Each structure stands twice: as structure tokens, then as C-alpha cells.
Structure 1
């Protein structure tokens, strides 16, 4: 698997982000959905990676700088045809290593509280993330789960 910084201009990544947004909209009420579209992901404080095997897009993930010592995981998504192959695990490991290289002391994320998000919560827990209070600009919402990991 080749994980590389992505400029978000390719049709494959546009399709995966579109799929991600549609899925999040289906699973979450609009006021509780915090998934980012292509334009929002193109901000200077966000680094976006895509994972490839040859010419097949396997998945993606992003790291948003919240401050000099705090980052947020965004846009974790595995292509539907590549689920349960360890793609998300490898992307998450890559993001954690990058956060450490940047000198972050903490890495946080927001995900859904519904049953559909249980596999994601289990993945994050297996990497040492624990539930926390809302961070950054998030507010307490029963549809969201906030998690953090000290690095």
C-alpha cells in the first residue's frame, strides 16, 4: 500500500469523498455531521493522504492542525470494495506517526455515536484513543463521540 499526500484533484478521490459525504448524511442528522467536502479539505491547516495499490484507491484520511501541539483526524474513509483489509488501520497509523513527527502532544477526533460507527470507534480504541469532552469548536451532541489520544 502506498500512502501519499493527495492534492484532492483526481476523479477517484472526488468520488470517494462524495461517497463519504453521502454516507455521513445518511447516518447523521445535518446538525451533527462534521464531514468535510473537497473544498474544505483544501485548507492550509489540513494535510490529506490517499492510499493506493497500483491504480486502485483504497482509502483516505486527513490531519488538521488545531494548534502547535494538537491535531485532529478527519475524513477517514475506506473504499467500499476494500473494507476489512486493514486499510483504515494503516492510514490511521500513518497519521499518528505524522502527528508525532510534527511534535503534537495530542490527537483528537469526532465520530458518530450510532451503531454504524461502532467499527470506527473500535479501531480508534484499539490505537489507544479514549472518549473525551468536545474539543475545538465542537459542542456536546448525543449523535457525536469525541475521542483523544496523548502522544
Structure 2
């Protein structure tokens, strides 16, 4: 599996992964955004972030992050449903940690039990849980934090 930074030409593949992964989340409203709106979001928002891609016979997944001084964020980590549990997510998480060794925060839906297990396994800890009133989907979510590498 190879990890590389995304290029503009990857945007269609990223949008397809985003759409496919979220289609497997039954708690999400599939009508919240059209495919065209989702593609626009990938092209205009996600592509402006630092995006890492996991490739192995095609693009398996991606992680979009925003390293900022003192306030780092992992905004998205998605793996194609047919490529989950085959190391792509873990390899992407390792790259994110390498890119933001001082730590980062992320949001996850409370209903996304698989993602919650994944992030817990990778050392992310709960900061707070919300009722979802402030997110677009209006679903309960959780703020998680990976504290960074410990200095010895």
C-alpha cells in the first residue's frame, strides 16, 4: 500500500469514496446533499486541505487534514466500503499522526461505532459528546483528540 498526497486530478475519486462510504451509514439522510453538491464540497473545500491518499490497485481511501498552529484537525478519513479492514485506514492514520505529531482533534458521529472503535484503537480519546444540534446532520456526535507523541 502506498500513501501519497492527493492531486487535483484525484478529486473525482475522492468524491466517489466519500459518497460510497457515507451511503453505508444508515443513520445519515441520503438526501441531505446531492451528488453534485458533494462533488463541489470535495473540489472546493476538501481539496484545499492537506489530503493523503492510500493506493493499492487504485485509490482505497483518503484522509483530509488541516494542520494549524496549536489547533490541528483531521476533517475526513474515508475508506471505500469494499476496501475497509484491509490496512488503508490505519496507514492513513499513521500518516496523519506523522504530519501532526503534536496532536489533532476530530469529530465522529456517535452512531458510527466502527469509526469510534478505529479511532480508540489509534489512541484518540473522548473530549466531549454532543446532541448534534450544531452539526449539519443534526446527529449526536463526539469530539475526539489524539494527544500527540509523548516527548521523553
The alignment's TM-score, normalised by the length of structure 1, stands at 0.74
Q: CA RMSD in A?
A: 2.6
1:75: Cα distance to partner? 1.8
Count of matched residue positions in the alignment of Structure 1 and Structure 2: 133
Query: 1:41: which partner in 2?
Result: 46
- 2:47 equivalent to 1:50: no
Query: 2:114: which partner in 1?
Result: 119
Counterpart of 1:110 in 2: which secondary structure?
strand
Counterpart of 1:88 in 2: which secondary structure?
helix
Task: Could you tell me which runs of 5 or more consecutive residues in structure 2 were left unpaired when the two chains were aligned.
Answer: 33-37
CA contact (8 A) 1:28 1:143 kept: no
Separation of aligned partners in 1, 2:146 and 2:81: 27
Separation of aligned partners in 1, 2:97 and 2:77: 13
Counterpart of 2:95 in 1: which secondary structure?
helix
Deviations 1:75-105 (A, max 9, x none): 21111221111211111111111112xxxx3
Separation of aligned partners in 1, 2:66 and 2:28: 22
1:57: Cα distance to partner? 1.2
Instruction: Describe how 1:1-150 pairs up with structure 2 within 5 A.
Output: 1-10=1-10, 11-23=12-24, 26-28=26-28, 37-38=41-42, 39-43=44-48, 46-54=49-57, 56-65=58-67, 67-100=68-101, 105-114=102-111, 117-133=112-128, 139=134, 143-150=140-147
Runs of 4+ in 1 over 2 A off after TM superposition: 7-14, 17-24, 26-30, 138-142
Counterpart of 2:16 in 1: which secondary structure?
helix
1:18: Cα distance to partner? 2.9
